[in-house]
Amino acid sequence: MRFSFASLLRNAFSAHTGWPEQWRSPEPKAAYDVIIVGAGGHGLATAYYLAAEHGITNVAVVERGWLGGGNTGRNTTIIRSNYLWEESEALYDHALDLWQDLSQVLNYNVMYSPRGVMMLAHTVHDVQVSKRHVHANRLAGIQNEWLSPEEAKAFCPPLNISRDIRYPVMGAALQRKGGVARHDAVAWGYARAASALGVDIIQNCEVTAIRRGPDGAVTGIETTKGPIGAKKIGVVAAGHTSVVMGMAGLRMPLESYPLQALVSEPLKPVFPCVVMSNTIHAYISQSDKGDLVIGAGTDQYVSYSQTGGLHITTHTLDAICELFPMFRRVRMLRNWGGIVDVTPDRSPILAKTPVKGLFVNCGWGTGGFKATPGSGHVFAHTIARDEPHPKNAPFTLERFRDGRLIDEAAAAAVAH
Amino acid sequence: MLLITCPICGPRPEIEFRNMGEAHIARPTPEGTSDDDMAAFLYLRSNPKGLIAERWRHVHGCARFFNAVRHTVTDKFVTVYEVGAPKPDLAALAADLAADLAAREAGR
């Protein structure tokens, strides 16, 4: 059923009791053309583009928990494409292009809101690095501009630009096309659209083994709901990628860390944009519901605990209170952690693997949400054609062996 | 915040320590080592969901390095030991943990 003004009106008259389920919940078939492991935003987007753009509809998305219940439902929903290197600029800007009309394409309101992402600079070094980013981006045709402290305050009035704070604001880089989207709606929208095209989304189905044939190629997976056959498997398991890839005997250049976020009690609209500070480690925006959405940093050790230390969030709130003094008396409602898979160069891996038929989309680290549409789009291309899309061709596993790193350490959302 | 037992200084809060990554990854000699083996040394990590042997440094204390075995789901430390000591048998430690847990369940 398509959402339209007429369908909304019709269902309003029946007290909204007539809406059907938005996606099917089938039992797994014996075999599929493609299995996607992980029903987060990236996995569901991959399945959707496989069906919509490559005509491969005999696809299963298997998920250990419920769809969108991992990092897709835990992130701070920031969207931007102002990365430093050409490879990343192309990949993230591809995603930014797809965000523009995603709600119309999926017929599902993902509440994409290009309200501007402003990244603060607090030291001379920050200023130099930020300006380098601005210049690199403009050369590549990516929107990004430099603001003085006064211009930054004009764009975001709650910002404290006094000179006597511990880390004074010395300027900011602003990407006006950046913004936020409703993260759950992204997962739901892709799930609904993929399901409508024939993709089976199988939740509460944990992968326990990857089956290989005598030639080493994959032949399917073992799951808690029984074996499922497939000649192509795409692993999109975020923090658990090392675990799943280990089932195929592969060691990955990944380490998994808890990344935390928190939300405040709901407030009237007070905060017009997204503000990030890499140096003092805080990012903040206000959701349409009214709560302040605040992102903190990662813990320093490998962990799958989905919690993280409280001193990390405390440190972030110190920064928030100094930058935005009006939030000092705001109460925080909830905090949580997600497990992010971090690569040595802080760039993702979207590639074929040494195992025939096995593909991997991982390593998005602390900032994968923004790339969801682009990631799914190029990964579907990689699986369908058995060769990478030009935009993800540099993001191979072999780049670590060949020394072709895409070193976005300084460009990532948090200081490393 | 974790409570970490430095073998020299005793139990101290985590903010005194710096995690130094997976332990027991030996540097190969550059001569005769393939690119694949060098990349494996530099970048490939076991990243286990379970017991991990890792290096810590008590950077705001005695500044010494030491190794520890920790469970990456509970974040509980199983043991700490000196740099240079052989890698503990993680499978045996995991079996001990499972047996402990089973005994506690049975006693309940």
Cα A17 to chain centroid distance, Å, stands at: 33
- The pairing of beta strand B65-71 with beta strand A255-266: unpaired
Q: pLDDT tens across A114-157, in order? A: 999 999 999 999 999 999 999 999 999 999 999 999 999 999 99
Q: Quick one: what percent of chain A has pLDDT higher than 90?
A: 95
Go through the domains of chain A in sequence order and give each one's CATH number.
20-81+84-107+183-253+345-402 (3.50.50.60), 117-179+256-342 (3.30.9.10)
CA distances from B70 to A130, A254, A341, B21, B23 (A): 38, 18, 19, 12, 12
Burial degree of A8 (CB within 10 A; 0-12, 13-18, 19+): exposed
User: Going edge to edge, which strands form the sheet with A282-286?
Assistant: A145-147, A171-175, A117-121, A274-277, A282-286, A291-298, A255-266, A332-342
In sequence order, what are the beta bridge partners of B5? B11
Minimum CA–CA partner of B3 in chain A:
A309
Q: What are phi and psi of B51, to 5 degrees?
A: -80, 135
Name the token pair of A340: 């992010």
The closest alpha carbon to A80, from A144, A149, A16, belongs to A144
Residue A132, SS3?
helix
Measured in angstroms, the CA of B103 and the nearest CA of chain A are apart by 24
Domains and CATH numbers, chain B: 3-107 (3.30.2270.10)
Distance from B40 to chain A by nearest Cα, in Å? Answer: 8
From residue A339, how far is each of A187, A241, A359, B18 by CA, in Å? 18, 11, 21, 20
Q: Would you say A217 and A231 are in contact if contact means Cβ atoms under 8 Å apart?
A: yes
Residue B18: closest CA among chain A residues belongs to which residue? A300
| Sign, Cα dihedral of A73, A79, A81, A83 | negative
Q: Which of A256, A303, A307 to mutate to test the interface with B (most CBs of B within 10 A)?
A: A303
Q: 3-class SS at A339?
A: strand
Q: Which residues of B touch A (CB under 8 A)?
A: 1-2, 14-15, 18-19, 21-22, 35-36, 38-40, 42-49, 52, 54, 70, 72-75
Determine the Cα–Cα distance for residues A349 and A366; give it in Å rounded to an integer.
14
Phi, psi of A89 (to 5 degrees): -55, -45
Interface test with B, best of A260, A298, A304 (most B CBs within 10 A): A304
Q: Nearest residue of B to residue A240 by CA position? A: B49
pLDDT value, residue A107: 96
Distance CA A114, CA A175 (A): 9
Q: Do B72 and A302 touch (CB under 8 A)?
A: yes
Sort out which chain B residues have CB atoms less than 8 A from A344's CB and list them. 42-43
CA dihedral A260→A111→A187→A194, nearest 10 degrees, is: -160
**Percentage of chain B lying above the pLDDT 90 cut:** 91
Q: List pLDDT tens digits, range A154-212.
A: 999 999 999 999 999 999 999 999 999 999 999 999 999 999 999 999 999 999 999 99
Cβ-Cβ contacts under 8 Å for B60 (sequence gap 6 or more): B15, B16, B17
Record: contact B1-A309, CB cut-off 8 A: yes
Query: Are the beta carbons of A302 and B14 separated by less than 8 Å?
Result: no
| CB of A252 less than 8 A from some CB of B | yes
Is the separation of the CB atoms in A28 and A228 below 8 Å? yes
pLDDT category at B107 given cuts 50, 70, 90 is confident
- Please tell me the distance from the alpha carbon of residue B43 to that of residue A43, in angstroms, as a whole number: 25
Mean per-residue pLDDT of chain A: 95
Q: Tens digit of pLDDT for each residue in A174-183?
A: 999 999 999 9
pTM score, two decimals? 0.95
DSSP single-letter state for residue B87:
P
CA end-to-end distance (rounded Å), chain B: 29
Which residue bears the tokens 């975001």?
Answer: A156
Residue A276 scores a pLDDT above 70: yes
For residue B86, the distance in angstroms to the closest alpha carbon of chain A comes to 21
What secondary structure does DSSP assign to A84-115, as a single string? SSHHHHHHHHHHHHHHHTHHHHHTS----B--
Whether the per-residue pLDDT at A415 is higher than 90: the answer is no
Question: Residue A305: which of B14, B48, B75 has the nearest Cβ?
Answer: B75
Residue A31 is classified by DSSP as B
Q: What value does the mean pLDDT take over residues A291-314?
A: 94
Strands A117-121, A274-277: pairing is: parallel
Interface test with A, best of B42, B43, B55, B58 (most A CBs within 10 A): B43
Environment class of B31 (CB within 10 Å of its CB; exposed 0-12, middle 13-18, buried 19+)? exposed
Is residue A334 very low, low, confident or very high in pLDDT (cuts 50, 70, 90)? very high
Residues of B in contact with A240 (CB under 8 A): 49
Q: What share of chain A is helix, strand, coil (3-state, %, to 5)?
A: 30, 25, 45
The predicted complex's ipTM stands at 0.94
Shortest Cα–Cα distance, A264 to chain B (Å): 22
Largest CA distance in chain B: 58
CA distances from B19 to A1, B2, B16, B53, B56 (A): 52, 12, 10, 11, 5
Both structure tokens of A237: 């398991």
pLDDT by residue (tens digit) across B51-100?
Answer: 999 999 999 999 999 999 999 999 999 999 999 999 999 999 999 999 99
Nearest to A80 by CA among A151, A173, A146, A187: A173
pLDDT tens, position by position, A52-88? 999 999 999 999 999 999 999 999 999 999 999 999 9
Exposure of A164 in the CB half-sphere (CA atoms within 13 A) = 0
Indicate yes or no: CB of B1 within 8 angstroms of CB of A305. Answer: no
Of A243, A305, A311, the CB nearest to B15: A311
* Separation between Cα atoms, residue A83 and residue A365, nearest integer Å: 14
